[in-house]
Structure 1
């Protein structure tokens, strides 16, 4: 692969899902829906998943159905103690330091959460640009429009020179449909229906040779 730019996802990609960060964010989403929108506790999880599947993110679902303020929602759901859960990852620092290509972040989270995660992991210096959920509004991954906005903002014109690394299978498939090379970060073998799909169990398995 003649790769010049690598697009990294953030959550559950640059750190392990075993950290439990998503569980905390999920609980904050449920709390937001109950406290601010009046969803009953026995329905909130179902509706969160329904919006996620239908609209791409729960945020987009709540914006469509309730016209909520995105910034208020993002501040609320990402109000978690990132610095008490994650820590500086020296192995990841060494891996990223050996990869010469331009590295950027494309995430359905917001910039504040992204910067906290990168800083806590000790890897913020490796990324030259962040495209977050507000930058691609009213869209989100895996929507083609979201990718088009991100690629335009990253000034990427040669899609065959771009690699995307993400933990979401649907995001990976969306990237492939646009002509990007991909690496899927997933430890769940039963979710790998394509044998030729490049997959690693976690980001620490990222071999710099894969992206040269």
Structure 2
């Protein structure tokens, strides 16, 4: 599907974009792969094992922390003093075989003028594993993960500010691609062109059903259900 503006306001364009910033999970690969489902299950298992509680109770605590603290990890760190590295290593110990190579996406990303980055609430290792499975690992100039952000998650403004400073990116010349609308609020405020990547007709994860992630507001410049086609359209119209 070609790019669409999300509202009546004039969306920002890609004419001067020279830094292309991508979220990882459910953005660079479709939710239909169910990869994040495996991570989600590992989070519940970590909590159940650590606190000696049943799976239902662990799941409830996991979601409570997610909603209150922005990520399950942030809640575990703040409330329970959990070692974030231990948690991240555990939850990302998954089979990436659910992801298939995407040569068309790889070609579109490779053709983007300027630099390309991954900005994720996950780990560098997880991002590298996912990118390798898709066939795009060597196309990025940098990966900024939750550890680089001192384990402060998106959508906190400090995450984006640290990212921009670390890589020397000018926000007014950057575009941000995300599957969660509330993670685009700060990028848009900073001057980025924002894109919400949301699958059409897929059984998506619970995260995308939250009210705050509805397509609304001027912080979402464009919406697409096909990232590859979207990037190809950008390249065609630049």
Gaps of 5+ in 1: none
Paired residues for 1:1-212 under 5 Å: 1=14, 2-82=16-96, 84-156=97-169, 158-187=170-199, 191-194=214-217, 197-210=221-234, 212=238
Q: Distance in 1 between matches of 2:154 and 2:225?
A: 21
TM-superposed deviation, 1:200: 0.6
Give me the CA root mean square deviation. Answer: 1.9
Per-residue deviation, residues 32-72 of structure 1 (Å, max 9, x unmatched): 00001234322222221121122111111100111111111
Q: Distance in 2 between matches of 1:71 and 1:201?
A: 33
Q: Which shifted more, 192-201 or 98-107? A: 192-201
In the alignment, what sits opposite 2:11?
Answer: none
TM-superposed deviation, 1:209: 4.6
Contact 1:168 1:184 in 2 (8 A): yes
TM-superposed deviation, 1:110: 0.2
Q: Which shifted more, 41-50 or 129-138? A: 41-50
Q: TM-score, length-normalised on structure 1?
A: 0.92
TM-superposed deviation, 1:188: 5.8
SS in 1 for 2:43: helix
SS in 1 for 2:175: strand
Count matched residues.
210
Contact 2:172 2:190 in 1 (8 A): no
Contact 1:99 1:208 in 2 (8 A): no
**CA pair 88-138 structure 1, distance change in 2 beyond 3 A:** closer
